[in-house]
Structure 1
């Protein structure tokens, strides 16, 4: 083998080695980038869910607030009001106020829905199971408010009202927050359920994952 051939062979080996090294570095860099991207995505998802669940909690607390202000209770349109009794007009204002309060709960619940689907695809069903308790508490309150609205509706048949009263006898009284320093039973249950969600999500907010 001539000197020229040896130099050419060494050149080929050096170039091959450089190509292999470059490929290894590229693969390692891609893996790091993918891990960073995954960590950032999970961080953002966790943050969104936590922020929304806190808004959702506050909306539920708002429904239970015992004070109902005048600005919350609209008057019916004049053409409808002319046909209403005083009891029907009071019912109109109260029912609209509770509807507006509950709309805030539903806005946050809807926001949670898409993020929880994404969370289930990434992390499995554990978070979904943790939210089940919160959603059960929401449904319990919704049922209690719906029954109250039916009971104060002057147009609800007395037989229907009696049936509702019999159902409510077996349920706990959760409609109003007593606003005391010590949370009532319902609020304790809600706080406990949300704390479990926080405990699951907050480790995913660690900067080590980003």
Structure 2
């Protein structure tokens, strides 16, 4: 082999090596980019879910607030009020106040829905299973509020009130928060379930750009 051939072969080997090295670097770079993209996506999703969860928690706590301000309790129109007793007017304001409080809970839960679908697609059903505990607590509170409103409704007949009272007495009383620092039983259950969700999501917030 002549010196020119050797030089030509060396050039070819160098160029081939450079091409292979470039391809390896490109593949590694693509893998890093994909991991960064996935990490950023999981970070954003986890942050959104946590923010929505805390808003949802606060909405539930508002429902249980034992204080109800006059500004929360709308009055019926003058024409409606003329046909209503004092008890019915009082019930109207109370029921509307709870309706508004509960609508806020539903709004915050709806905000969670799309993100939980995305989370299930990315991570499976584990997070949804954790949220089921919170949603069961919401349902328990909803039943409690409904029973209370049925009992105080002047249009509810005595037999229905007695039946509702009987059912209510067999359930734990969770309608009002005791507003203590340690929290009542319902509050403790709620905070424990939220803590489990936080433990699941917080590691996903460790992503660095």
Question: What is the TM-score when the length of structure 1 is the normalising length?
Answer: 0.93
- Cα distance in 1, alignment partners of residues 123 and 162 from structure 2: 47
Q: Using the alignment, how far apart are the partners of 1:44 and 1:204 within structure 2? A: 9
Taking the TM superposition and a 5 Å limit, the aligned residue runs for 1:101-180 are: 101-180=101-180
Equivalent position of 1:91 in the other structure: 91
Which string of whole-angstrom CA distances, capped at 9 and with x for unpartnered residues, describes residues 34-81 of structure 1? 111111111111111111111111111100000100000011122322
Aligned equivalents of 2:180 and 2:8: distance in 1? 87
Range with bigger deviation, 1-10 or 156-165: 1-10
Note if 1:73 corresponds to 2:49: no
Give me the whole-angstrom Cα distance separating, in 2, the residues matched to 1:13 and 1:78: 95
Looking at structure 1, the residues matched to 182 and 29 of structure 2 have their Cα atoms a distance apart, in angstroms, of 53
Q: Counterparts of 2:10 and 2:199 in 1: how far apart (Å)?
A: 59
- Taking structure 2 as the reference length, the TM-score comes to 0.94
Deviation at 1:184, TM superposition (A): 0.8
How far apart, CA to CA, are the structure 1 residues paired with 2:33 and 2:93? 56
1:52 aligns with 2:55: no
The offset of 1:25, in angstroms, is 0.4
Task: Measure, in 2, the Cα distance between the counterparts of 1:5 and 1:91.
Answer: 101
Name structure 1 gaps, 5 residues minimum.
Answer: none
2:191 is equivalent to residue 191 of structure 1: yes
Q: Which residue of 1 aligns with 2:10?
A: 10
1:203 CA drift (Å): 1.1
Cα distance between partner residues in 2 of 1:157 and 1:23: 80
1:62 to 2:56 alignment: no
Q: How far apart in 2 are the matches of 1:196 and 1:104?
A: 23
Change (3 A) 1:181 1:9: closer
In 1, Cα distance between equivalents of 2:50 and 2:180: 25
In structure 2, C-alpha distance between the alignment counterparts of 1:82 and 1:204, rounded to whole Å: 59
- Once the two structures are TM-superposed, the CA of residue 172 in structure 1 deviates from its matched residue by 0.4
Report how far residue 5 of structure 1 moved: 4.0
2:202 corresponds to: 202
Aligned equivalents of 2:179, 2:126: Cα separation in 1: 32
Q: CA RMSD in A?
A: 1.5
Aligned residues: 209
